[in-house]
Amino acid sequence: MASTPRPSGRRPVRPVVGSRNPTGRPRTVAGRSQPPAETPVTPPVGQPIDPPSAPPPPVEEAAPPPEPPPPSPSERVSEEPPATGGTVSGVRTTLVLVIAIVLLVGVAAAEGWFLWLRKEPVVSADRPVVTGEVAHRAAVEAASQAADEIVSTSYKNYDDQVDQAVAKMTDGFAAKYRQTAEDVRDQFVRAKKEVQVEVAAEGVVRADESQVQALLFLNQYVTTNGKHTAYTPYRALVTVVDTDQGWLVSDIETK
């Protein structure tokens, strides 16, 4: 019977499960002692680890940069920004003035064209008054004052009153009036008559730019020999024309 041979040498060493150093402990060299292993210090939970303080590096002060040389006069002028605001404002003002002048010239030209080419209104039966109230009222007032001086007469200064009345008339009507006044002069003076006239009412009948016909309501008082006075109301159509001397009487019609 053959015998089973035994394994020679030492038995293999199995690794220990869960060992933290699978590579084994370091060997101890003969004649040297191994320094003890440092035990790690574990900080408490929740407390931060302060890094080792180190002295801050020295701060070197930087030298200030050199100042640039002052610019030359030409560079100083070129560096200034152009004043565009004042230029734009000046151009805008000039444009507004030009537009205003053009508008004024246009208005003046249109008004001149209208006054030059328009036709004068013509008096008719449908439109007897073609002037404004201010214009014809002035003419009616002139007719009323002239009628008072023309009709009112006294034997005491008959000739002087005739001269005053003529000054309120046109040349053609003045010639007719003088002839009539001369025809009745002797009879009027011999009877020692005095005629006074009051304008009770007045109004315009026809009117245009150059001629106005006024209707006057007159109250006449005639005194003879200083005793008897007769009262007579009547109406008169007094026509006045516009002249260089103002409104002058060109005709009187009594009704």
- Residue 18: the pLDDT is 47
What are φ and ψ of residue 126, in 5° steps? -75, -25
Question: Distance (Å, rounded) from C-alpha 18 to C-alpha 40?
Answer: 21
Question: Distance (Å, rounded) from C-alpha 216 to C-alpha 199?
Answer: 7
Averaged pLDDT for residues 32-59: 52
Domain edges within the chain = 133-254
pLDDT tens string 87-110: 666 777 887 778 888 777 777 766
Q: Hey, which of 14-18, 82-86, 123-127, 183-187 has the most confident mean pLDDT?
A: 183-187
What are φ and ψ of residue 137, in 5° steps? -65, -40
**Rounded alpha-carbon distances, angstroms, from residue 70 to 14, 54, 102, 199, 248:** 90, 47, 52, 98, 90
Question: Distance (Å, rounded) from C-alpha 54 to C-alpha 12?
Answer: 53
Question: Distance (Å, rounded) from C-alpha 3 to C-alpha 87?
Answer: 128
pLDDT tens string 114-145: 555 555 566 555 676 777 788 788 999 999 99
pLDDT tens string 228-246: 789 999 999 999 999 999 9
Q: How confident is the model at residue 152 (pLDDT cuts 50, 70, 90)?
A: very high
Question: Distance (Å, rounded) from C-alpha 31 to C-alpha 28?
Answer: 9
Q: How confident is the model at residue 65 (pLDDT cuts 50, 70, 90)?
A: low
Question: Distance (Å, rounded) from C-alpha 145 to C-alpha 173?
Answer: 17
pLDDT tens string 185-224: 999 999 999 999 999 999 999 998 889 999 999 999 999 9
What is the architecture of the domain spanning 133-254? Answer: Roll (3.10)
Q: Which DSSP string do the residues of 42-109 spell out, in sequence order?
A: PPPTT-PPPPPP-PPPPPPPPPPPPPPPPPPHHHHHHHSPP-HHHHHHHHHHHHHHHHHHHHHHHHHH
